[in-house]
Amino acid sequence: MPFVSVRDLQMYYEIRGTGQRLLSISGTGGDLRRSPTIFQSPLGQHFEILAYDQRGLGQTSKPDIPYTLADYAADADSLLNALGWENCHVIGISFGGMVAQELALRYPHRVERLVLACSSSGGAGGSSYPLHELANLPNEELAHRQITITDSRWQNQDWLSERTTLLEELVKLMVASFQEDSDEPSRQVGRRRQLEARAAHDTYNRLSQLHIPVYICGGRYDGISPPANLEAIHKQIPGSDLEFFEGGHSFLYQDPQAFKRIIEFLQIQNLKSKIV
């Protein structure tokens, strides 16, 4: 298994595929042991992808100290340096989009083209849903809450009435993942520290400093990173593109057009600005 020393961490990473280099930064609770990974997405057929478990997550070290978004950005920069990747495209998904913003702002020479998927800027641009406030809920209630805020359509009774069995199955799967975390205490530490860092995220007033191609995308029904948050990012980044898809926080796997559009952007094809 590939590990590398990165700052104060032993970091787990994987590189797969061929093509232009793409760094993928995962979301809250991201763990390369859990499917689907970015390698199983359509991106895996087009790029040489570097993905890794961030501090506090997966198989990477989980120090019980305060984490900051600056730490996460420095981790990514140090990983690229350790692997000899001078620069690359970057896709940040959810919390990973927050890290990607910090990476592009603090280490602009690293990022060629940037994809921010279902993310938020914090500050005046709006924060993502405060998941840290749900941390002490019983597992089943926590799972139910997370699923229903992930996609606002779950809060529509007509939508819900046709999918009650599916909701029950999703809750069971999520509760099982919570149980895995509880069986490994260090996972709980890492998740808590990540949520603390997430709550303090704020790049809004600095985003105008970005002068690279940026594609912002999200789901129309996302309750974690709502459309207004993406629109705020778009207004702050000169020349950025914004597009919405059919889905919630998991829109990448709900709308087949999402990855297609990301691939077009990263392959430097013409992409007209649009807000749908």
**Mean pLDDT rounded to a whole number for the chain:** 92
For the chain, give the percent of residues with pLDDT over 70: 95
What pLDDT is stored for residue 136 in this prediction? 84
Model confidence, pTM: 0.92
Sign of CA dihedral 7, 77, 115, 40: negative
Give me the sheet containing 214-219, strands edge to edge: 3-6, 9-16, 47-52, 20-25, 88-93, 111-117, 214-219, 241-245
* Better-scored residue on pLDDT, 143 or 276: 143
What pLDDT does 273 receive? 43
Give the chain's largest Cα–Cα span: 52
User: Could you tell me which residue, 87 or 164, shows the higher pLDDT?
Assistant: 87
What is the per-residue pLDDT across 159-190, written as a single tens digit (0 to 9) for each?
A: 778 888 888 888 888 888 777 666 677 888 99
Q: Which residues contact 71 (CB under 8 A, 6 or more apart)?
A: 7, 55, 197
What is the tens place of the pLDDT at every residue in 15-40?
A: 999 999 999 999 999 999 998 999 99
Does the structure show a pLDDT above 60 at 66? Answer: yes
Contact 58, 2 (CB under 8 A): no
CA end-to-end span of the chain: 42
Q: Is the pLDDT of residue 275 over 70?
A: no
List the chain domain ranges: 3-129+201-266
| Whether the predicted pLDDT of 158 surpasses 70 | yes
**pLDDT tens, position by position, 98-146:** 999 999 999 999 999 999 999 999 999 999 999 998 888 888 888 888 8
Q: How long a stretch of residues is the chain?
A: 276
Q: Quick one: which of 170, 263, 262, 174 has its CA closest to 218? A: 262
Reply yes or no on whether the pLDDT at 204 is more than 60.
Answer: yes
Report the CATH fold assignment for 3-129+201-266. Answer: Rossmann fold (3.40.50)
Q: How far apart are CA 1 and CA 17, in angstroms?
A: 17
pLDDT tens digits for range 217-261: 999 999 999 999 999 999 999 999 999 999 999 999 999 999 999
Residue type, 82: A
